[in-house]
Amino acid sequence: MSPEPSHNPAIEVYGLEDRTFPPPVEVACDALVTGNELHEEAETDYEGFWARQAGDLLTWHREWDTILEWDLPYARWFVGGRLNAAENCVDRHVAAGQGDKVAFHWEGEPGDTRTLTYADLQIEVCRFANVLKGLGVTKGDRVAIYLPMIPELPVAMLACARLGAPHSVVFGGFSSESLAGRIDDAEAKVLVTADGGWRRGKAVPLKDNADVALATTPSIEHVVVVRRTGEDVAMTEGRDQWYHDLVEGASADCPAEPMDAEDLLYLLYTSGTTARPKGIMHTTGGYLTQVAFTHKYVFDLHAHTDVYWCAADIGWVTGHSYIVYGPLVNGATSVMYEGSPDHPGRDRWWDIIERYKVSILYTAPTAVRTFMKWGTAEPAAHDLSSLRVLGSVGEPINPEAWMWYRQHIGGGTCPVVDTWWQTETGAIMISPLPGATTTKPGSATFPLPGVAAEVVDDAGQTVTQGGGYLTLTRPWPSMLRGIYGDPERYQETYWSRFEGRYFAGDGARIDDDGYFWLLGRVDDVMNVSGHRVSTAEVESALVDHPGVAESAVVGAKDEVTGQAIVAFVTLKGEQEASDGLGQELRRHVATKIGPTARPKTVIFTDDLPKTRSGKIMRRLLRDVAEGRDLGDTTTLADPAVVEEIRRRATEAPSED
Ligand code: WTA
C-alpha cells in the first residue's frame, strides 16, 4: 500500500497487476484493426468518425442533415435521418442474398433446438408485426415483453421496431410487482408473454406472474401468450390470445415504418441495487450505429465465419445490444440458449461451444467465478479450440478470474476483452480491441474510438494518474436520451455531480500507462481511517488467494476506524472454512495491498447475494455487517442466501 497520501485522493489505488498480454499473432494477423488508425481518425473529427460508421454500418431511407445537436444534457444524433431498425437487422441481409444464413442457433434448456435463418426471421417478424397491428398497435405505442429466452423474444422486439412501437422488455426472472410497475410507468398497451420458461429443469410460471401483474395494469388491452412449457394457464376471455393462433393467419408481408433517427426504439428499466427503476430511453440511429460498431470491432467480428455467443439474458441491456441489435445489424450468426449453465450438468456451456463451434463468447465475471468454483475438469473435457475471442461485462473482473478465463476457457491464447459500459451508455465504451490492444488482466484498457472518458477527483479536476470518478466528456451516439417521464431525475442522476460531464457512478483508476481500471460503484467505496478504499481492489486481493472462489467486501461502521472492512468469502470446492484460514486471508490482503485494507472480519459463506443479472448486492451485506434489518430484497436472485449469511455473520470471529 502507498504510504500516507500526500493529498486526499478520491479513491486510493494499490496497483496489483503487472502482467501484460499483447494481441496473439493468430488473432492479430487477420484482425479488422491492428493499429491506432480508428482512434486517430476519431480524435481528428469524432463527429465525422461516427457519421462514417453510421453510413458504413446501416442502411438509411434518408440521410441525416446534421450529425450532432448537443444541448447538454440532450443529444440528437443524425438529425433528419430516417431508417428502420428491423429492416437493418433483417430485411437488408435477405435482400443482399444472405437469407439462408443462420441468424440464431437456438437451444432450449430441455435440449430442443431451432435454427432461424435471416429469411425465417423476416417471415416471423413480419407476421408478428401484423399481429400487433391487428391488436391496434401503432407507431409510438409501448409494448411490454415478458418472455423467456426463446426465439419469439427477439422476434417480438423486432416486430415492435418494424412498426415503430417502442418495446419494454422485462426480464423473465422479475416478479409480478416489478412487471406491473414497469408496465404502468410505460403505459404499455399490449403485453407479450409465455406460459412459462425452463430454468434448472423447472417451469417458471410467467403467465401466472403476469396475471397477478395484470390485475393492476389498466393500460394493457391485449395479452399475447407464447406456448413454451405446455403447462396449464388461465386465459382471460377478450384479453388473452395464443401467439400461435394469431400468427397462423397473419400475412408475412409488412412494410417497415421509416423512423426518425431520434425516434424511441425502446425503454429498458434499470433497477440498480437500490432505488426505484428508471426507464432508460434509447433511440434509433445513434444507438444502432454504436452497437453495430462496437459489436464488430470489440469482438473482431468476421461475420462470414464467426459463431458468436453472448450468454446474457435479453432482459438486460447486454442482451438488447449484443444478442439482438448489434449482431443482427452486422449479419452475424449467434447462439442463443434458454437455460442455466448447470442443467443437466455443469458442462452445458462447454458442450454448446463444442457442438456449435462458438468462436466468440461474451459473458459476465460472476459466471466466470462460478465456473472457477466448479473447477477445471468440465471445460477440460470439451474441445473449446473454436474460441478466438472472450468478452467480459457487468462488473470489474478481478485479475485471477481474467487469467482463469483466458487459460481454462481460452486455451491460454484467446484475448480477453473486458468491456465497460452501462444500460445508460447503450453500447460498450471502454474496451480493448483484440487485434490491437495489449491487455492487462482486470483492466478495461482504453476508451474506444469516438468515446471521451476521464477520471476526476472530488472537485471535478481531471486525474491523469490515480483513482477517482469515471466521467464521459462528450456525447456519444448510443447515449440514453433521458429517463422516461422524468427529465429532472435524468439531469440530477447523471449531469449534476460534475459540471458539463456525464457521471457514471463508477470509480476508476488510471495507471502509469494510461490504462483504465474500473473500481466498482462509488457508493461502495469504503472509508477506513480516512483512506478511501475500493471494494473491488480488496475483493481482487482475496480472490488472488488460491482457496477463494469469490468475495464481496463492505465497510461496516466502526468506532475506531470510521468503517471496518468486512469480507464475505466463498471458497473453492475442495477448501474447508476455518478460523485459521480467515486469519490467513486477512494476512494475504495485508501483504498484497497493505495493512489499511486488511479485513477486520472474514465471513465464510456458500453463496453471495446477487441481483438477477449477477451483480453483488453490497447494500444488503452492509445491513448484515451492521446488524440491521434488511432493506429491499425484491431484486435479489435468491433471498434465502442472505438469511444464511446472517447466521454465519453472528458466528464469525473478528480481529481485535
Ligand atoms: C458495472 C451492464 C467494471 C459498472 C452493461 C456499471 C462494470 C454497471 C463493467 C452497469 C466492467 C459493467 N468493469 N464494472 N467491464 N461493466 N460494469 O446497467 O458498475 O447492468 O456502472 O449494464 O455495471 O450495469 P448495467
Mean pLDDT, to the nearest integer, of 304-320?
A: 97
Residue 4 has a pLDDT of 39
Residue 200: all three cell numbers together: 434448472
Q: What does each C-alpha distance from 236 to 97, 128, 210, 211, 487 come to in angstroms? A: 43, 21, 12, 9, 37
According to the model, what pLDDT value does residue 511 have? Answer: 95
Nearest CA residue ID for atom 12, ligand 1: 394
Closest atom of ligand 1 relative to the 431 alpha carbon: 15
Q: Summarize the confidence of residues 187-204 as an average pLDDT.
A: 97
For the segment 336-392, what is each residue's pLDDT rounded down to a tens digit? Answer: 999 999 999 999 999 999 999 999 999 999 899 999 999 999 999 999 999 999 999
> What's the pLDDT band for 560 if we cut at 50, 70, 90?
confident
Q: Please give the Cα distance from 407 to 411 (Å, whole number).
A: 5
For residue 451, count other CB atoms closer than 10 A to its CB.
24
Q: Any idea which fold 529-651 has?
A: GMP Synthetase; Chain A, domain 3 (3.30.300)
Of the ranges 229-243, 273-287, 303-317, 618-632, which one carries the lowest mean pLDDT score? 618-632
Query: Residue 639 above 80 pLDDT?
Result: no
646: Cα within 13 Å, side-chain hemisphere: 14
Residues of the chain with pLDDT > 70, as a percent, come to: 96
Q: Is pLDDT of 193 > 50?
A: yes
What integer pLDDT is reported at residue 650 of this predicted model? 72
Amino acid 10: pLDDT: 81
Q: What is the mean pLDDT of the chain?
A: 93
What is the per-residue pLDDT for 34?
Answer: 96
Lowest pLDDT segment from 321-330, 392-401, 556-565, 610-619: 610-619
Higher pLDDT, 85 or 273: 85
Q: How far apart are CA 593 and CA 570, in angstroms?
A: 20
Express as a percent the part of the chain with pLDDT over 90. 82
Ligand 1 lined by 523 (C-beta under 6 Å) = no
The domains spanning 25-65+72-84+264-519 and 118-257 adopt the same CATH topology = yes
**518 pocket-lining for ligand 1 (C-beta < 6 Å):** yes
- Centroid of ligand 1 to alpha carbon of 171 (angstroms): 17
Q: Does the CB atom of residue 419 touch ligand 1 within 6 A?
A: yes
Measured in Å, residue 238 CA sits from the centre of ligand 1 at: 42
Please state the φ and ψ torsions of residue 326, each to the nearest 5 degrees. Answer: -60, -55
Higher pLDDT, 163 or 1: 163
Q: Whose CA is nearest to atom 7 of ligand 1?
A: 395
613 lines ligand 1 (CB under 6 A): yes
pLDDT at 631: 64
DSSP annotation of 618 reads: H
CA separation for the pair 226, 152 (Å, rounded): 8
Ordered strands of the 102-107 beta sheet: 113-117, 102-107, 333-337, 307-310, 360-363, 389-392, 416-418
Mean pLDDT of 185-202: 97
Res 437 pLDDT > 70: yes
Q: In angstroms, how far apart are the furthest CA atoms of the chain?
A: 74
Q: Are 190 and 243 in contact (CB under 8 A)?
A: no
Residue 633 CA to ligand 1 center (angstroms) comes to 20
pLDDT at 5 over 50: no
Give the Å distance between the CA of 421 and the centre of ligand 1: 5
Give the position, in ligand 1's atom list, of the atom nearest the Cα of 504: 21
For the CA of 423, the closest atom of ligand 1 is 18
Ligand 1 center from residue 216 Cα (angstroms): 32
For the chain, domain boundaries: 25-65+72-84+264-519, 118-257, 529-651
pLDDT of residue 525: 87
Copy the grid coordinates of residue 261.
433517427
Asked if 608 and 552 touch (Cβ cutoff 8 Å), the reply is: yes
pLDDT for 656: 43
401 C-alpha to ligand 1 centroid (Å): 16
534: confidence class by pLDDT, cuts 50, 70, 90 = confident
CATH class of 118-257: alpha beta
pLDDT of residue 632: 61
**pLDDT above 90 (res 162):** yes
- pTM above the 0.75 mark? yes
Nearest protein Cα to ligand 1, atom 11: 420
pLDDT at 655: 54
Q: Contact, 456 vs 463, CB < 8 A? A: yes
Residue whose CB lies within 8 A of the most ligand 1 atoms, among 518, 613, 617, 618, for a mutation test? 518
For residue 417 and ligand 1, the question of a CB distance below 6 A is answered with no
pLDDT, residue 2, reads 40
Q: Is the pLDDT of residue 3 over 70?
A: no
Give the Cα separation of 537 and 364 in Å (integer).
18
Burial of 489 (0-12, 13-18, 19+ CB in 10 A): middle
pLDDT at 1: 38
What is the average per-residue pLDDT within 613-632? 82
Q: How confident is the model at residue 559 (pLDDT cuts 50, 70, 90)?
A: confident
Q: The CATH number of 25-65+72-84+264-519 is which of 3.40.50.12780, 3.30.1240.10, 3.90.1150.10, 3.40.50.720?
A: 3.40.50.12780
CA of 418 to the centre of ligand 1 (A): 10
Distance 267 CA to ligand 1 centre (A): 18
DSSP 384: -
Rg over alpha carbons for the chain, rounded to the nearest Å, is 24
Ligand 1 pocket residue status of 618, Cβ below 6 Å: no
Q: Is 421 in the pocket of ligand 1 (CB under 6 A)?
A: yes
Residue 41 neighbours by CB under 8 Å, 6+ apart? 49, 52, 449
> Residue 424 phi/psi, 5° resolution?
-70, -35
Q: Which residue has the cell 454504436?
A: 290
Residue closest via CA to ligand 1's atom 23 equals: 394
What pLDDT score was predicted for residue 634?
Answer: 61
| Lowest-pLDDT range of 10-14, 287-291, 575-579, 651-655 | 651-655
pLDDT at residue 635 is higher than 80: no
Q: CB of 445 closer than 6 A to ligand 1? A: no
Cis omega before residue 599 (within 30°)?
no
Residue 97: Cβ-neighbour burial (10 angstroms; 0-12, 13-18, 19+): exposed
With a CB cutoff of 8 Å and minimum separation 6, the contacts of 191 are 143, 144, 145, 146, 183, 210, 214, 217, 220, 222, 223, 224
Instruction: Name the residue with higher pLDDT: 607 or 31.
Output: 31
Evaluate: CB of 280 within 6 angstroms of ligand 1: no
Residue to mutate (ligand 1; options 395, 509, 522; most atoms within 8 A of CB): 395
Residue 503 Cβ inside 6 Å of ligand 1? The answer reads no
3-state secondary structure of 552: strand
- Is the shortest distance between the CB of 430 and ligand 1 below 6 Å? no
Asked if pLDDT for residue 334 goes beyond 90, the answer is: yes
User: Among the listed ranges 6-10, 224-228, 242-246, 489-493, which one has the minimum average pLDDT value?
Assistant: 6-10
Whether residue 531 is predicted with pLDDT greater than 90 in this model: the reply is: no
